Chains A and B, each alone.
Chain A
């Protein structure tokens, strides 16, 4: 029998019982919709986490002093990393493209009558490319500024706004903890990252910060940018070995610094999103199962209701296979239609969530095909039993059926 005739009959019988068909499809609609919406949240969350991680800079390794303490009791950060450590890393470890020593402290800023507070980072000019900062206007301070211990600063856009309002900060002189600093550049915005806002800070030469602002001898961190082809794990081990040697740590004693690697963060994020996807898959499976049972139920009712029709069709020459196909296609049409409506609902609710809540949502095309494929498979799987029952009915009994 011609396929479109079967489709036409299937659609007509669905249309004849609109409410019932929609109720039967509801399980699939909700299941598919939920799967698509949740996968969209998953993909959106993953994308924003990845975005934050790569905004921190590429191929980044961060060396920080270890925690001080004994027997598991932490009592603050050790003071043990020096500028010489940073220089040693750069000269002794292979695969490093650039290095930036970092000190930091709180700055009380003052410009005419206005006050503001911001984090002050003291570092070298390499900090900008390592941490993926760009200069919006003006320029970065220079190597000479670092050597001369110049009182110059580049400032984040939020700090600039707080302190200077609408007027141009470049070339202005402000006071940082009572010392005059000239603003030479404005940093391009990266956006708030939750735990820390990179737009609300001040970057000054580390020499100036250590000697003039905070009186520090030790570094808060050393940022390392690895070369593109470098093996980060190896580099990390080498850096650790160099520092242990310099800090005269005996073999067997715990490290006094810890090195975080951006790949670790990415891996963790991927791990989490994988688990999230498995969880969503399980929810999808359950809701589609429930939807499939709904369709099987209504198909069994349909077969019983249309016993006479089955008898007539068999009398005029329908084979068992023709009847099987007809009811199977009806179940398939119902589940595929439910799947389509579910896709609409899922995409719509992902859109609404993305627009009106804090969830970032991205509807990936694969999730639509996945959901549609699954709902069609559910239709065939759960339609098969009712269709077989219909096909096996005895034509004489069907014709006598009241």
Chain B
């Protein structure tokens, strides 16, 4: 499903060059539930932006569902984000003044699909929010908002779901519920990548890719995780 080879990404900050990704190769198969974990500054956000087709790598190849997306145009990337990738963000990123249903419909409108209403209702049903379709985000709890966001991510039936710290803004119990929802979705055959700094979150996933200083490293799980949590 995802085959990224030798990804390099550099940033130029005030005359200094920071190499955020240094020869990163990642392979993820269809149906996996994978965590990409690493401390802040490890390059995981950069990796997620590239895997999510929001950014270009400076070097390397990225094959998504059999297509090399590293050199595609901005418009084509927008189409790929629309059709093959579903995003879930830490702070939900729902649009204000639009109902849950309208938020979930939005990706389908950009795809000019005419069965938007139907599919959006189905997606909301999957995340268990059939009774909240006409609520606006500010009338929903954090957990409910994240469920709406997940419904929006799965509504186009994407190849992968990219979740960036999906529990970061939630209390631990609600976070557990969201992670349980991801597991259910994964059981139904969806490919899910969770980006997190939290080893507890990563433990819910079936595989972990550990990033450190822009490289894929061996997870020193226990010790490193505890050190992180103390920070």
Residue positions of A touching B, CB distance < 8 A: 1-2, 5, 9, 12-13, 16, 308-309, 311-322, 395-396, 399
Instruction: Name the residue of chain B whose CB is nearest to the CB of A13.
Output: B97
**Are B52 and A318 closer than 8 Å at their CB atoms?**
no
Interchain nearest-CB distance for A207 vs B (Å): 89
- Find out whether the CB atom of A313 lies under 8 angstroms from the CB atom of B106: yes
B49 within 8 A of A: yes
- Complex: A395 Cα to B50 Cα, angstroms: 12
User: Looking at the complex, which one of A1, A9, A319, A399 makes contact with B78 (CB distance below 8 Å)?
Assistant: A319
- Contact-residue bracket for chain B: 20 to 34
Q: Are B49 and A1 in contact (CB under 8 A)?
A: no
Contact residue among B75, B96, B152 (Cβ-Cβ distance under 8 Å from A316) = B152
Q: Kindly provide the distance from the CB of A243 to the nearest chain B CB, expressed in whole angstroms.
A: 82
Q: B203 at interface (Cβ–Cβ under 8 A)?
A: no
Q: Is the CB of B93 within 8 A of A399?
A: yes
A310 to B110, CA, bound (A): 13
- Pairwise interchain contact B109-A315, C-beta atoms closer than 8 A: no
In Å, the complex CA distance between A2 and B97 comes to 18
- Inter-chain contacts of A308 with B (CB < 8 A): 93
**A317–B54 touching, CB < 8 Å:** no
**Interface positions of B (Cβ within 8 A of A):** 49, 52, 54-55, 74-75, 78-79, 81-83, 87, 89, 93-98, 106-107, 109-112, 152, 156
18 other A-B residue contacts (CB within 8 Å) besides A2-B112, A316-B87: A1-B110, A9-B98, A308-B93, A312-B95, A313-B95, A313-B110, A314-B78, A315-B52, A315-B93, A316-B81, A316-B82, A317-B83, A318-B78, A318-B110, A320-B75, A320-B78, A321-B75, A396-B55
Chain B residues closer than 8 Å to A319, beta-carbon distance: 74-75, 78-79, 110
Q: Are B54 and A396 in contact (CB under 8 A)?
A: yes
Q: Do A1 and B109 have beta carbons less than 8 Å apart?
A: yes
Bound CA–CA A177/B83 (angstroms): 102
Question: In the complex, A395 Cα to B156 Cα: how many Å?
Answer: 20
Alpha-carbon separation in the docked complex, A13 to B96 (Å): 10
A398 to B148, CA, bound (A): 21
Give the residues in chain A near B98, CB-CB below 8 Å: 9, 12
Name the residue on B nearest A314 (C-beta).
B78
Are A316 and B54 interface neighbours, CB within 8 A?
A: no
Chain B residues, CB < 8 A from A316: 81-82, 87, 106-107, 110, 152
